[in-house]
Structures are given as structure tokens and as C-alpha cells.
Chains A and B, each alone.
Chain A
């Protein structure tokens, strides 16, 4: 199973996302922003970071990269695409997901172990989870406040397009505690927290059992491998 991981200039978590794919049992394929060829991957991860220095708006320049032209086309054809943090911002800037992401309401960068509720399991990135499952995923961003106009929010809620919601604490002022979204088809999922940082015991969030033993993020990558196998 070939899972592409895109590197833009300024991408930071590409090697982490590749590691997550490998731990889940997939083959990670590095994709370069300037290369429109998707190298026959079965799914794509847009990892976190500060692509193009977050200049203009987070994700705005990356959304214009040659590789994105191919990804947008493939996503519209059903290719599973996961956008993490800056990758979520790129998906929004590419109009694959609606709304926008603005500066955290606390006005500072926030790094914390964040509780989420899984709100939708009918996607290739969430089918390993149970509906309503609570998971802990590291969150780290400066511009993670989700916004959308009232009509869009109503549609997102009405059509069940909210994939993840912040639980107990809203770290960035996101409307409706929205942490992540899916598109109508379900193949495109974006979220601000970083599942690739919760895939390996010893390097994830603390749990009640042991320090840094949280691996809830592995579900994202196992999900896509399930769906690619089943497809």
C-alpha cells in the first residue's frame, strides 16, 4: 500500500508522517511539491509544518503547487487525502474542505495533548475508530481556530461532516469545537491535531498507564490501509 507524503518547502512533519505510515504497515512514498506526478500512490498525507513560511496565509501558496493540482484532481476522483495541521490549511485553501483557519483565540502557539471525540467513522481515515470514541492526539499550532459562515456551519453539522471535535477544552477558539472535517464523499479529511505524533509508544502523549504511551493516532493510518485493501 503506497501512501504518499508531500513535502513543501517549510514542511516539518513529513518524516514523522512517513514513519506513521510505516508503523501502520504501509509503504511511505515521498512526494515533492514541484513534481505533479503522484507516483501511483493509493492515498496522500499532507503533513504539518509552515509550508512556504506561512506567507500570505497558511497553506495559501502550497495550495498552488504543481503537486496540489494533481492531488485536487485525484481527490475529486475519490483518492483518500488526509491533511494534518498545515495540511488541513492547505485543503481549505484548495477548497477541498470549506471554511478557514485563523490565529488561535489565545494569540499564542499552543502545544498540548488534546482530547478529541470521533464524530464520523465513515471515511477511509476514521473507519478504525468507534463513533463517539475519545482519543488523545497532540495538538500544536498557532493558527488553528476554525471558522465558517453560519450557513456553512449548519450544513457541516446537518450533513455530518464534522469528523472530530475538541473534548473538554477548546484550545484555539474553533467554532462548534470543530477539530477536523470530512468532505461529502468522505475521502478527504483534515484536522488540526497531529495523529502522526501518537503512533509509537514512548514518543506519544502520556496515558494513565504509562508516560508517552498514547498511540491513538495509529487509527488514522490503519484506517486508510483497511480502505485501500478493501477498495
Chain B
């Protein structure tokens, strides 16, 4: 970073507030720092003078798209507005904090959030992905919670492009390295390959934590006299300007040359920091806490003070450095990982020091909280920052960017999959089933997930390949949580409003099939450039779809993240709103797997199969086609279905339950038999008759609101009665049959495969590509 001169950090070089007042006409590099002319003018207006270089650094990074949400704010508000009192009943902390907190009963609460680390992961896949995990885990820790699990939502380019393997290997090993070393079970996630992500992969990371109600912590500094303590790793030159330079500029051909701006992670330091923080919380010596992630000290100091409606006096010389040549501006912007800032009452400082010493964590007292709502930062004797913290942290610019209905979308919607050829003979259909389940997106992700520890903690009740991850929270009662995340960029491209609701409906259903009750939503909204009005339209539609959908389902959005500028040149990614749904289950012992383990059970298809193949996996894999309109979403029915599943689970009627989504019934059947290696005999006649659909639609349609369940014969009458009483269409479509080496999946009139042949079709794809 050549914008600020490096040197021996001699005090005489510092651009002081007095100097700034005396030299109003000095040219400043606001443009290079990503500020717009009017934004720079507004900073001058706020301060009544030009900013010092340190102030300019702070404002530029805090007013970047990544930190300020300046383009998305006006749309994100609806997540807080489209709510009912009922939805907020269990919400202990809503949007705006590091992560939302939900009351799950028995005195327990959970906090969860998903965040993007897309751009760093393209430049340096290993460190980008690793620090993505590290950052979201610190967000969870900051709320006072013990992190209990992680998940990842990954989008890579086309498997045939040679650069894809570089990104895949780096990202997967980065997540494996960091997550495994933290001791957090990885309980699920998504991996999708599509050429639209070639120059802009998506690496989203989710973490969930559990806490007792009374342990809730907030990021605020409100009591004058409290000490401001920075602890954890030392501050170095990593990630300087990472937030504004990396996240707020679109990649162009010279993308990878910005390597030095990516942060470097040390999971060992973070693991120690987690245990150290939990011990600090238990000792009740922390009045407020904030992690240092994007925007580093600039963010932590201004947010803590602003949230506490107080001010802060900070001596920047007290920051422990890894590199003594850092300038004050660089120290303020550094994104060195594994650092936390605590607000500690004076009387507790000795106890605080004792605990951090035990964990051999370094710390330094930077200053103290003051009553006056002003942030003063000194570099030795000289004052280099003197600002109202709220103007840095919260009163950044807000844009209502131009929105334009995409010129191309009508033609795309008109290009329905109905014109695509459909196989009519059994052999060709059977061939298509194998093509679908062995395609990179539909194939088993074992090659990836087997690199993640899903056992650590001893509380994992469900993980990959089941539809949702589930973790026990209370060892005494078995109380637990389930999480699933989903997003289908192809649907998002066809209709971003429906695409967001489809992601929500699928994640909701994936939680419901585990036996848990959906309770709350987080999201990571991955889009192209907000400066493109058509992208802004997609964003507007998707946020409206998600907010309306949450209102319909009665579950609140508790927090999330926006990632813009996901594009290469002028070409934006498909709108990819990753939606995570959290559910609660009173006892994880009654969780339901996604496949059957018992022979002689009946297989039922719940819901209605329509001829809905636009945007489907079938259209993509068999015909390389994307066009038409996505499947219809019926959220009222999704609720009914979830309630029925919950009732059936509570009565112990379900041996397995598997959501139907990408790849339709064909995919669900193959996954169902492979889950435990128990076969099935299935017939399609009733599906075709009742839904008035052909073989292709029966097998591959992606109609929503459908679940494949297995039920023991002794529970049949009860189960069917339960569905009928609740208005859930239920069709018996087969029986489970034959285990071990003799097992087959037979679709009557079409084909029969041995489990072994299906297993090799489904599991060989990723190892062949990347192994």
C-alpha cells in the first residue's frame, strides 16, 4: 500500500488534527481509498476541516460497501419491518449486532450467522477460506456464546476449467485446516459448480454458538472509566485495506496481483482465544466485547463507542505490533486475525489479566471509555483522530441506487424447458437418472466433507449427507438445534424474488425433515455490482422475496451479510441468496435421517408433483438449458408440511425423511438407498396419474413442498391418517427392500441397479475430478 508513506513511524510524520486544521488544501488520496467525491466532502463537513490521514483511513474503510451496507441498507430494513410480534417472541437480539440471538428454551439461547469471504478466496483460496471461518466464529464468540458448529456454502466455476481445481483445493483445505484445528464440527453445507462463478467463487461460512441467557454479551462501551483492552494476536500488515480494496471493487484481469491484502489465519491462536474468552465471560469481567475483523481497530473502536453512546480515548502506540514499521493509519486498518477488543471495568482488570495470562494470550490496555461521545486517538503525544464515533460506524452514506428491470429477463422467462426433448423409453430414462446423480453438482460431496471433522464436541446428531446438520445443546435434556442452508442461483437468475423464496422454502423444509421446528433465518446475499441497475433490481426482488417469505412462514431474519461486486468484468454471477434456517428440537434422540435403514418399510411421497422442469437440474445436465420460470412456491403449504412432519416425528412414525429438491425424486431415491445401503422397489404410476405428468416430470420435476419418507408397516394407518387429516397429499410409491450386497434400487418398468453400481456412479465424480 503506497498511499501512506512507510517509515520509522517518527511522531513528526504523523498527520495530526492540528495539522489538518492548518492545511485545509492538502490533496488527499480519497479516491484511491475507494471514497466518492461527495463522501469525502461529507467527511469534511462532519469534521469542519479536512480529515487527518488516519481519519481518512477510518472513514474510507468503514464507509466501504462491505462495512456500511450503503447500497443494501434501504432493502435490508424490511427484514426488521415485515415482522409480527409473534415472530419476535423468541428473538433476544435482532439484526445489527454481530449475530442474532434466539431463545430456544430451558434457559438456552443460540446465535448463528453466515458471512461471505468471496473475494479473498479467489485471490488466495486457502487463506481466504480459512480466515472466512475464523471471522464468523469470532462473531459468534463475541455474543457470549461457545461456538458449537460450522457449515460452508461454496460456489466454484466449471469443473472443466483448469483454474477450478486450484480454487477447490485451496478453499477446501483452508476450511479443513482452520475449522478442524478450532475443534468445531462441520455439520453441512453446499457445493455447486457453475461457470458463472469462474472468476468469482463464493465462499460463505456459517457458525452457530450456544449460550445461557445470562451470558449474553454485547459490543458496546458505555461506562466512562472502563478500560479498552486489545488482546489476542499481534497487529501486523495483513489485510491492510482488505475490506475496501478487496470487497468493494470488481475483479478485473489483474485480480490475483493483490495477494498481500489477504489476511493470514492462525487457528491455534483462535482456539486459545475462544477458550480464553469463555473463561473471561464466566468470570464476568467483560462489560462489552467486539471482534476485530474487517476494518480492524477502526471498526472495533468506533462501533463499541457508538453502540454504547459514549466515547473513547485510545493511545495507538500501545498496540502490540508484529511489524514495528507500521504507520498509525496501517495499524487502524490492519485486519490481522485472531484479535478481540474487550471493555473491562477498572476493578476487573486484575482478574482479566490473570485469565489472559493463563492462556498466554498477549494484551495491551489501549485507553478508556469516556462520557463525551467522541473518539480520540493519539499517536504518542499527538492527536491523529478526533471524530464523533457514530459518524464512522453508523451514519455512513446510504444510497438508493438506480434499479432497472433487466432487458434480457422476459426472453429468458419465455425460453421454457417445455421445448426440450424428453426421453420416452426406459433405457434412455435410466441413463438420464445416472447422468443426473453423477453430475458434479448432484454427485456425493464425500470427497469434500470427509476432510472435515464432524465428530469433535461429541454432540453431532446429524451431519452430511443428511438434509440438515443437528447438534445437541443440552446434555441433560437432549435439547438441540438443526440448521440447513440453501440457494439455487439458476432459479435466482430466472426470478430473483422466487429464487430467494425457493431457497428459504428448501432450507425450511430441510430443517423440518430432521424433526426440528424452524425458528429463525440468516442469510448471505451474494450479488453482482450494485452500480449495475439490473443487479440492483435483482437484489431488490430477492430481498423482498425473502422478507415476504419469512413473514409468511412466521420466522424472523436475525442477521446476515451482503456481498456485492461478485462479477468478472461486466458479467455478474447469478443472484445467489444463501438462506440459512435454524430449527429447535426438544430431544435430538428423535432426529430423522435422510435415508432408510430398515427393510420392509413403506415409501411415501408427500406433496404434489407438477410438470416443473424450468431451471431444473434435468434441464441443466441433460440439455445444458436455463430458461423459463422456476417452480411455484407455496409457503402456506410448506408450513402445513413442516407441522405434519413434526407431529409424525413426535409420534415416532418416521423412519426417514428426505426433502425433494434439485434432481427431484430420482435424486432423492438414489440418496435414500445409498444412505445406509438398503434398497427399494418403487413405482411411478400413481405419481403420473395423480399429477397428470409423464415419466420425466415424475422423476426430475423440482416441484416444491415434497418429501420422501419411510414408515414402518405398523405405523402405516396412523401416518396416512395424520397426513390426510392435515391436508397433506400422500402417495405410497414403494417399499424398502434388501440390504448388503443383494440390495437394488428398482424403479418398476424403468430400470434396476445394484447399490454398488449406484454408489460408484454417485461417489466417483468428485474424486475423479479433484482427488
A residues neighboring B (CB under 8 Å):
9-10, 12-13, 15-16, 19, 49-50, 52-55, 108-112, 138, 140, 142, 194, 196-197, 199-200, 202-203, 206, 208, 210-212
Contact = CB atoms under 8 A, between A and B. Distances in A.
A19 B181 CA distance: 20
Nearest to B475: A19
Contacts of A52: 268
Given A112-B450, A194-B455, A197-B455, 9 more contacts: A10-B271, A13-B456, A19-B475, A49-B183, A53-B181, A53-B269, A197-B456, A208-B739, A211-B597
Given A12-B271, A15-B457, A49-B183, A110 B588 contact: no
Given A10-B272, A55-B268, A108 B676 contact: no
Interface in B94-135: none
Contacts of A12: 181-183, 271, 456
Contact of B461 (A9, A55, A203): A203
Interface in B145-168: none
B399 interface: no
B268 A9 contact: yes
A211 B589 CA distance: 11
Interface residues of B, number: 36
B456 A16 contact: yes
9 A-B pairs with the lowest CB-CB distances in the bound complex, closest first: A53-B268, A12-B183, A16-B458, A197-B455, A50-B181, A140-B453, A109-B176, A109-B451, A138-B455
A110 B453 CA distance: 8
Contact of A13 (B176, B183, B359, B452): B183
B601 interface: no
Contacts of B460: 203
B589 A197 contact: no
Contacts of A10: 181, 268, 271-272
Nearest to B266: A53
24 contacts: A9-B268, A9-B271, A9-B360, A10-B181, A10-B268, A12-B183, A16-B458, A50-B180, A50-B271, A53-B266, A54-B181, A108-B451, A109-B177, A109-B451, A109-B452, A112-B450, A138-B455, A140-B453, A197-B458, A200-B458, A202-B589, A203-B458, A206-B676, A212-B461
A208 B743 CA distance: 14
Interface in B174-196: 176-177, 180-183
B589 A108 contact: no
Contacts of A203: 458-461, 472
B396 interface: no
B492 interface: no
B704 interface: no
- Per DSSP, chain A at the interface is loop
Nearest to B592: A211
B759 interface: no
A50 B450 contact: no
Nearest to A140: B453
Contacts of A206: 676
Interface string B320-332: 0000000000000
B593 interface: yes
A113 B215 CA distance: 36
B173 A53 contact: no
Contacts, number: 87
Interface string B505-549: 000000000000000000000000000000000000000000000
A9 B274 CA distance: 11
B568 to A, nearest CB: 29
A138 B266 CA distance: 26
A217 to B, nearest CB: 11
B595 to A, nearest CB: 9
Nearest to B359: A9
Interface string B549-580: 00000000000000000000000000000000
Interface in B341-365: 359-360
Contacts of B213: none
Most chain B Cβ neighbours within 10 Å, of A19, A138, A200, A211: A211
A112 B455 CA distance: 10
B453 A53 contact: no
B454 interface: yes
A211 B453 CA distance: 18
Most chain A Cβ neighbours within 10 Å, of B177, B269, B458: B458
B267 interface: yes
Nearest to B186: A111
Contacts of B461: 202-203, 212
A54 B453 CA distance: 16
B696 to A, nearest CB: 33
A141 to B, nearest CB: 9
Interface in B445-470: 449-461
A16 B475 CA distance: 12
Interface string B38-54: 00000000000000000
A109 B186 CA distance: 13
A12 B453 CA distance: 11
Nearest to B449: A111
A8 to B, nearest CB: 10
A212 B463 CA distance: 11
Interface string B264-287: 001111011000000000000000
Most chain A Cβ neighbours within 10 Å, of B182, B456, B676: B456
A150 to B, nearest CB: 31
A109 B457 CA distance: 18
Contacts of A50: 180-181, 267-268, 271
A111 to B, nearest CB: 5
Most chain B Cβ neighbours within 10 Å, of A15, A55, A199: A15
B658 to A, nearest CB: 13
A111 B453 contact: yes
Most chain A Cβ neighbours within 10 Å, of B183, B266, B272, B360: B183
A12 B267 CA distance: 12
Contacts of B267: 50, 53
B296 to A, nearest CB: 23
Contacts of B475: 19
Contacts of A112: 450
A202 to B, nearest CB: 6
